[in-house]
Amino acid sequence: MLKVIILISLFFLSLPALALVPPDYQEPPSDFTAEIEAGLQLNTGNNESSSFNGRTQLIYDTERTKQEAILKAYFASEKTQTTSEKYELQLQSNYKLTKGYIFGRGDFTWDQFGSYTQISTLSSGYGFNAISSYKTKLSLEVGPGYRYNMPAESIDVPDPDAEKDVILRTAAKFSQKLQEYSSLNADLTAEVGENNNTLTLDMSYKNLVFQDWAFKIGMNIKYTEIVPDGSQQTDTITTFNLLYTFR
């Protein structure tokens, strides 16, 4: 009898909780999103090797502003010798207007075995959403900037001078939802300067595997018009990663 009384009491005590929190209750969407991924890497161009890579993306999107930070790391070795070590940091801050947004951006690259060991680009300008639907998104950006490149040392040029250039940066960011659990992303960025020009295409295909886990195939192609002697103009990085999303 005592057990029956306890069970009935617990049932009635749980009713207020059910009234406050319905069974179909879901947490409100968060302004903060994070992605962490890691996987296999294949390099062609100035570096030909295979190893591992990692990427972290942080986004804080509010009604008036959007902050985004992306950190990429690439590392490869053959036996006991390191053949590739590269780090990329991308920071962007958007201030939303009635139509479009104003942005400030910084791109920083440290590449121990690349044709340029350090690349720093600061830019600002105006962007707007040309297409914004549930399945398709396209944003365009344009603005001036400043680029600093440090060429790699060589036998002919043991102490190279840094290259400094004022540039015009244009970018197109495209996203297409193919199905409920798969999507395609492509970012095309052009930097036109007086001394050098670059064109970068960053593509990825993502397919959800389980809840917040996804499989991602990525390809980054960068073309640099003028490079140090002995270097190739085009670098390609292909990645096969497992990605986890925090929301």
CATH of residue 175? 2.40.160.40
Asked if residue 103 belongs to a domain, the reply is yes
Structural domain span for residue 60: 32-246
92 located within any domain:
yes
* Contact criterion met (CB below 8 Å) for 61 and 31: yes
Q: Is residue 204 part of a domain?
A: yes
Assess if residue 26 is contained within a domain: no
* Cβ 166 vs Cβ 144: under 8 Å: yes
In-domain check, residue 229 = yes
pLDDT in tens, the chain (247 residues): 544 444 444 444 444 544 444 544 455 557 899 999 999 766 677 766 668 899 999 999 999 999 999 999 998 877 667 777 899 999 999 999 999 999 999 999 999 888 899 999 999 999 999 999 999 999 999 999 999 999 988 777 788 899 999 999 999 999 999 988 999 999 999 999 999 999 999 999 999 998 889 999 999 999 999 988 878 899 999 999 999 998 7
Residue 97 backbone phi and psi in degrees, to 5: -105, 180
For residue 18, tell me if it sits in a domain: no
| Count: domains in the chain | 1
On whether residue 227 sits in a domain, the answer given is yes
